[in-house]
Structure 1
């Protein structure tokens, strides 16, 4: 037989729920308490206390329901009730649908493994810029990584200001860590030949094509045969593969067409001979006979071994891209054209990174 519940107390799923009106709005809040006789009595008493506070004009949403999404908007003592981990998690929910999967993973990692362990228990009004900067200085990671970790915290506090949770944003005073841009270290032709000489088959084709086109590794492994236009000696870059997922290129300028050298065309013809008719992707992992899952696998299984076997000084795979750009510029190619082929929105990056190769 159904148990009769007090007015304003209902059951939703396995939990008791309170229903009440406040500021001409109807609210329902779960108590996360099972439907038992003692809990029903406790819920009735809590509802009575809420209604009394509302009638007396001293109801504080955040005090009664600190974890509620409505507390962010309606609490009268927000800085004393809302914690940093709450605004960070709320921010992650907000950006979920408008953020690329790989970027969202980076944000979630920064929030889960760095920001919440360090600042999560603080009330939002307790966070001080000096504490953030002291913590940053203790981290033994690059300046770029520190900047990326700060992004969720900065944006969560911007939202807190916009929502009226705080009056001052402490993150405005937190200076971005210095980002030391690494100097390009392209391979010369002798080094390129040595690297390619220790590779065979589809693995050699992959690395050779990287040197000949300047594509990012994520773009290489997402290249499909539909993107190849041999008649006009070019390929069309429309997508990238990041952490195993196919996505649009990094920016709208990433959509581009790249001309093919004779060597690049030879690579594609070789790939055609080794690919089945069912293959959509140009380059594939010979171990599993399917598209490469990520650039990390290529770096670990192909690139590192090739560099070691060739005797060439180690540089990361991104230097194939630097090699492509520096070679074109050294030959007198127009910097604007190189910027387009590299997928940059303007030639500012080319000028700042490859200036010493521009005639």
Structure 2
């Protein structure tokens, strides 16, 4: 017979016993009658469709291959999923029987991933670097998928993956680097690193789009580049740009000269060594490469080139003091590009196209930068007011 339990939160937990006499929860509800009804339904379902005997002992690691065999995902997605399973899901849940995994345990797990992450070891699950909300969500969804599959296979009565809260990342402030700050950072770079950063500031491309840039996509005579590919480091392949935003972008004169010199110095490869998924095939090599012609490592570029350049860079103020540029993200080159266009009076719709945004709503985040044009607006209104003051229009009011 089903029953309820009042929790400290004031809510009610619906409880019942399965076909093997083990206490089970049907969930937590705001009203006792609702909790009792759900528990009674779950108890009846467990009686009619009892779980297999193995359900009491099968561990997550034993269930994993059966769950994976039921999934249908693209190869590149599977590779990314397996990395998360190996580092964060299996180390935590591999030895735990499915029937013993609770909603509370899962909540504690995602909280721990957000606080200090997790690393795989041969003997235990240890703390590591904190994970982003996006990565934790992906790990949780993998566990949830495995538990839903167990319910479908009658290995579980109910998935414990419900009402799990994942704290969001704090909003990273967008930084708009001044011309002097850009020059200071670039002064700390050389070779293709310098060309890459100048290209980022001058075109607003995402780092994946820059790494995926092929020589055939650059028209130096026409001072234009075409965004056709983006490099995906997780499966090491070329894919279509984010939001499928293939587009043409003008190249500033300074960047054109740097690219011309890079092409002379680097002797570009005749062929790209990377598999292309969902994007047009290439006919030439990559613009930015390692010594073997393969794409540069975006992670290494961020931490060993970009961040070092930002730490060393400084701008001299009017009093002769050197002010450090300090922390800035590679993605801030993109924000800087957008701010440059908006402040120059370029229409938001045009900025949207150049940035490759999926919608102008995304571009609206930069609309506040247009406030720099308010001086011209105020001047126009003041001129209109001055004309009206100099030539007043008199109204004749008739009184009856």
TM superposition score normalised by structure 2: 0.62
Q: In structure 2, what is the Cα distance between the partners aligned to 1:340 and 1:78? A: 56
For residue 133 of structure 1, give the secondary structure of its aligned residue in structure 2.
helix
Shift of 1:338: 2.8
Q: In structure 1, what is the Cα distance between the partners aligned to 2:351 and 2:99? A: 49
Alignment of 1:139-178 (within 5 A): 139=113, 140=115, 141=130, 142-178=132-168
1:295 alignment partner, one of 269, 294, 298: 298
Shift of 1:355: 4.9
Describe the superposition over 1:81-116 as per-residue Cα deviations: whole angstroms up to 9, x where unpaired.
Answer: 44323444444455575142xx54442232122222
Check if 1:123 corresponds to 2:113. Answer: no
Shift of 1:304: 2.8
Shift of 1:302: 2.1
Describe the superposition over 1:138-194 as per-residue Cα deviations: whole angstroms up to 9, x where unpaired.
Answer: 342243332232121122233334445434222132123223231212311110011
How many residue pairs end up in the alignment?
281
1:305 alignment partner, one of 301, 304, 308: 308
Contact 1:80 1:123 in 2 (8 A): yes
CA RMSD of aligned residues (A): 2.9
2:231 alignment partner, one of 198, 219, 241: 241
Contiguous gaps of at least 5 residues in structure 1: 1-73
For residue 303 of structure 2, give the secondary structure of its aligned residue in structure 1.
helix
For residue 230 of structure 2, give the secondary structure of its aligned residue in structure 1.
strand
Q: In structure 1, what is the Cα distance between the partners aligned to 2:311 and 2:176? A: 17
Change (3 A) 1:138 1:230: same
Q: In structure 2, what is the Cα distance between the partners aligned to 1:223 and 1:270? A: 16
Describe the superposition over 1:193-228 as per-residue Cα deviations: whole angstroms up to 9, x where unpaired.
Answer: 111123233221111011111222222122111111
Paired residue for 1:84? 60
Paired residue for 1:350? 363
Paired residue for 2:286? 281
Paired residue for 1:263? 254
Q: In structure 2, what is the Cα distance between the partners aligned to 1:283 and 1:308? A: 23
Shift of 1:274: 1.9
TM superposition score normalised by structure 1: 0.68
1:111 alignment partner, one of 71, 82, 85: 85
Q: In structure 1, what is the Cα distance between the partners aligned to 2:352 and 2:148? A: 34
Q: In structure 2, what is the Cα distance between the partners aligned to 1:80 and 1:333? A: 65
Contiguous gaps of at least 5 residues in structure 2: 1-49, 116-129, 271-284, 315-324, 372-400
For residue 151 of structure 1, give the secondary structure of its aligned residue in structure 2.
helix
Q: In structure 2, what is the Cα distance between the partners aligned to 1:264 and 1:298? A: 19
Contact 2:208 2:232 in 1 (8 A): yes
